[in-house]
Amino acid sequence: MSEEPRIHTPGALAGEDELDLSLRPRRLAEFVGQDSLREQLSVSLEAATARGEPLDHVLLAGPPGLGKTSLAQIVAAELEAPFVQTAGPALERKGDIAALLTALEPGAVFFVDEIHRLNRALEETFYPAMEDRRLPITIGQGAGARVVTLELPPFTLIGATTRAGLLSTPLRDRFGIQHRLEPYAPDDLATIVRRSAEILDVRLEEDGAHAIAERSRGTPRVANRLLRRVRDWAEVRGSGVVTAQAADSALALLEVDELGLDRLDRDILSALCRRFSGGPVGLTTLAVAVGEEADTIEDVYEPYLLQQGLLRRTPRGRAATALAYEHLGLQAPEPAGLW
């Protein structure tokens, strides 16, 4: 059996505890869902291994919590390569990138999360590194400055982004493998919940797994978080077994409804329907009305509401749909007549 990849996290953002790491799949065969992506990645990995070359650079895009970091770690494991992780916001100077790239071992997987948050000047540092495995370094200042080019070992850069449109075209085009992860189907999420329950030694019934999966917003990270909270409720208030009834009771306590909407989701819809007559209303105004940052609403809450058909984006702002009124138990206003 091959070794697990060595994981280093210079400059990486904190927040992954040991429990979260233990729930991550370690090999491509363990990764659930994203069938097309898994098949394409499997072919690319097998071909690179057969040629004895590093895998081409990979760009993984998609909403948070769908498994971009897990896939990056899986690539390193499949290649039996060291795994070095950082994040776009942690890279503030060209020297930060130079220090990481020059310290890479041959064949290493270098993972940059939130790569869209690199500033343009730093992006340009990656261009020669990705294409030619060279890193030009300017030594000195003024008329006496000179450029020294450092040779880099072969490596694979994996970038993860929730907003691929913010990447510059020159950087995006240098990724030979590009994939977008999509929200998961309930059946795939139920499989993930069952696997996590086994790892956590949670007694789980099939209907309990599906009850959690259906409220997980198509996101494995949310499914695992809800499983832990339902487990707590089952151990304290229930029989210790995660059933559909236990899931319903625990998620009601968490204010997560049957569509997977939490309190702030409903506050957003309620503000649109009750205070602004369904909209349209500007994002900044909506953010003030619910007491949340506009960026958080746009990046975290709005995508799921759009996917569920509860919210519309219009040139004049956000508007609630008839489904939003129905979900809140409100009467939708009659369409304005034409005169």
**What are 13-26's pLDDT values in tens digits?**
344 454 555 788 88
| Beta bridge partners of residue 312, listed in sequence order | 319
Query: How many other C-beta atoms are found inside a 10 Å radius of the C-beta of residue 331?
Result: 9
Per-residue pLDDT, 143: 64
Please state the separation of Cα 302 from the chain's center in Å.
Answer: 15
20 φ, ψ (degrees, to nearest 5): -60, -40
pLDDT value at position 20? 56
DSSP helix/strand/coil, 93: coil
Q: Does residue 304 have a pLDDT over 60?
A: yes
Model confidence, pTM: 0.82
What is the rounded average pLDDT of the residues 229-258?
A: 92
Among the four given CATH numbers 1.10.10.10, 1.10.1660.10, 1.10.8.870, 3.40.640.10, the one describing domain 263-328:
1.10.10.10
Residues 89-110: what's their mean pLDDT? 88
Instruction: Detail the DSSP E strand segments found in the chain.
Output: 7-8, 58-61, 83-87, 108-113, 134-139, 146-151, 155-161, 177-180, 203-204, 241-242, 311-314, 317-320
Maximum mean pLDDT: which of 5-19, 126-140, 275-289: 275-289
- Neighbouring CB atoms inside 10 A of 47's CB total 12
Choice between 137 and 286, residue whose per-residue pLDDT is larger = 286
- Alpha carbon distance 26, 78 (integer Å): 9
Residue 3 pLDDT > 60: no
- The C-alpha atoms of residue 34 and residue 180 are separated, in whole angstroms, by 9
The contacts of residue 297 (CB under 8 Å, 6+ apart) are 268, 283, 286, 287, 290
DSSP 178-227: EEE--PPPHHHHHHHHHHHHHHHT-EE-HHHHHHHHTTSTT-HHHHHHHH
Give the distance, in angstroms, between the CA of residue 129 and the centroid of all CA atoms in the same chain. Answer: 25
Q: What is the reported pLDDT for 186?
A: 93
Determine which of 99-103, 128-132, 333-337 has the lowest per-residue pLDDT on average: 333-337
Provide mean pLDDT across the span 288-314.
89
Taking alpha carbons only, the member of 241, 230, 219, 227 closest to residue 199 is 227
Q: 277: number of CA atoms within 13 Å, CB side?
A: 4
Quick one: how many helices (H) and strands (E) in the chain? Answer: 15, 12
Determine the length of the chain: 339
pLDDT digits (tens, 9 = 90+) for 177-199: 999 999 999 999 999 999 999 99
pLDDT at residue 137, as a whole number: 73
Of residues 213, 121, 231, the one with CA closest to residue 168: 121
pLDDT tens track for 43-82:
999 999 999 889 999 999 998 889 999 999 999 999 999 9
Give me the mean pLDDT over the 200-222 stretch: 93
Cβ-contact 323, 310 below 8 angstroms: yes
pLDDT in tens, 101-115: 889 999 999 999 999
Going by DSSP bridges, is the β-strand pair 155-161/58-61 parallel, antiparallel, or unpaired?
A: parallel
- Catalytic residue numbers? 68-69, 113, 162, 221
Give me the pLDDT at residue 5, please: 45
Q: What CA–CA distances, in Å, run from 123 to 114, 116, 117, 303? A: 13, 9, 10, 27
Residue-level pLDDT at 9: 43
What is the overall mean pLDDT for the chain?
86
Pairing of strands 311-314, 317-320: antiparallel
**7-180 has CATH 3.40.1080.10 classification:** no
End-to-end CA distance of the chain: 75
Name residue, tokens 């832990």: 228
- Residue 330 pLDDT: 87
Q: For a pLDDT cut of 70, what percent of the chain falls above it?
A: 89
The two beta strands, 108-113 and 134-139, are unpaired
Domain boundaries, the chain: 7-180, 186-253, 263-328
The correct CATH number of 186-253 out of 1.10.8.60, 1.10.10.10, 3.40.190.10, 1.10.287.110 is 1.10.8.60
* Beta-sheet strands, E only, within 238-339: 241-242, 311-314, 317-320
